[in-house]
A and B are shown apart, each in its own frame.
Chain A
């Protein structure tokens, strides 16, 4: 059971529409190492954990990942809000727009829809925790750094 808090965990206040940036950041929402995968990974694995500590930590991290999911969704929403069809097409989001308009749809940067195949629940607590560590490392080290690389490359501005 969850209760919704009507705040973001950290504020998202983007000043400039930038669909091109949204196209890569959406992978953090519904991509292979995104926040949706993270939350479902933790929240699904918690059922099979053997003791109180491991159940608690997966429950509470999985919950926090949902807050991250909301922040990333807010970023994508604000980056695309009010974008013209020209901007959308130029950013390579024409195909996305065809199917989803400017809704925030859980998909990877390449447009692959979210799939539960991104997560693993192996029926073994150690295997599951190893999967969590690897996933977290992929999420932080790889995706966020690549997003920053892209952003720097484009000399784009995303301001708090």
Chain B
């Protein structure tokens, strides 16, 4: 996936430099939109699966298979969320940013990050 970073951080203090800081604002063009849609769909699918596995594990904590799946999904979604947030802005207020990007995207009830 070709993704350009758009974190808009100007201080150069980013913890990791895995992504180019191109500071572009072209996320709304067709191609990027499709990538974005696919990524957020994947993130939601992971989150849903993790949620349901957690509910199951609450009452079946000894189930190794469920535990293993839970561990795997948590790891995979973390990587995906890091990638997504670097480009499209924070999904939670726990994501550090030099510019307050929390306000930039529409809210979920307005079809933001859907």
A contacts, CB < 8 Å to B: 3-13, 53, 56-57, 60-61, 64, 70, 73-74, 77-78
Interface size on B, residues (CB 8 A): 25
User: From residue B53, how far is it (CB to closest CB) to chain A in Å?
Assistant: 11
Given A61-B55, A74-B109: A5 touches B114 (CB 8 Å cut-off):
no
A-chain residues with CB within 8 Å of residue B109 when the two chains form the complex: 8, 12, 70, 73-74, 77-78
Q: Which of B102, B107, B109, B114 has the most CB of A within 10 A?
A: B109
Q: How far is the CA of A12 from the CA of B109 in the complex (A)?
A: 7
A-chain residues with CB within 8 Å of residue B67 when the two chains form the complex: none
Answer whether residue B9 sits at the interface, using C-beta atoms and an 8 A cutoff.
no
User: From residue A84, how far is it (CB to closest CB) to chain B in Å?
Assistant: 20
B15-42 vs A: 1/0 string, CB under 8 Å? 0000000000000000000000000100
Q: How far is the CA of A60 from the CA of B70 in the complex (A)?
A: 15
Instruction: Find A6's partner among B47, B55, B61, B90 (CB 8 Å cutoff).
Output: B90
B contacts, CB < 8 Å to A: 40, 43-44, 47-48, 51, 54-55, 58-59, 61, 90-94, 102, 105, 107-109, 111-114
A-chain residues with CB within 8 Å of residue B107 when the two chains form the complex: 6
Q: Please list 25 pairs of residues, one from A and one from B, whose beta carbons are closer than 8 Å in the complex, sorted by A's number.
A: A3-B92, A3-B93, A3-B94, A4-B93, A5-B47, A5-B92, A6-B91, A7-B40, A7-B44, A7-B91, A8-B108, A9-B47, A11-B44, A11-B111, A12-B108, A12-B111, A12-B114, A53-B58, A53-B61, A57-B58, A60-B54, A64-B51, A70-B108, A70-B109, A73-B109
Let me know if A53 and B108 touch, CB within 8 A. no
Residue of B nearest to A57 (CB): B58
Q: Given A9-B47, A11-B114, A64-B51, 18 other A-B contacts at CB below 8 A?
A: A3-B93, A5-B92, A6-B90, A6-B91, A6-B92, A6-B102, A7-B44, A7-B91, A7-B113, A8-B113, A9-B44, A10-B44, A10-B48, A11-B44, A60-B58, A73-B109, A74-B109, A77-B109
Residue of A nearest to B95 (CB): A6
